[in-house]
Amino acid sequence: MNEARNAARKWQEDEALRRFRLISPLLQDGLDEARKIQLRERIAQENGISTRTLYRYEKAWKENEFQGLKPCDREKHRKQAEGMWQDGKPK
């Protein structure tokens, strides 16, 4: 069990680092909005992700820095989803 937990934490750290590397050019001071849009589009295209995903990563960084870029573990995600449903129907 501990090995699985450690592997999950390592994966979360690695994924957060990957996400940070994607958005780091967008975090530079002095970039105007037009340049950020161009950068987002280029980064998204080069990495096979949407610009919306990059916006979400940027928002997560602004709210919680590196910790915000870590994906939720499945247990936490499952509990959040369960809280949105009652008797098989959305609340």
In tens, the pLDDT along 5-45 reads 888 899 999 999 999 999 999 999 999 999 999 999 999 99
In percent, the amount of the chain with pLDDT more than 90 equals 65
Q: Which residues contact 20 (CB under 8 A, 6 or more apart)?
A: 61, 66, 69
Residue 54 · residue 44 · CB < 8 Å: yes
Entry pTM: 0.75
How large is the C-alpha radius of gyration of the chain?
A: 16
In percent, the amount of the chain with pLDDT more than 70 equals 79
CA 90/CA 53 separation, integer angstroms: 25
> What pLDDT score was predicted for residue 65?
92
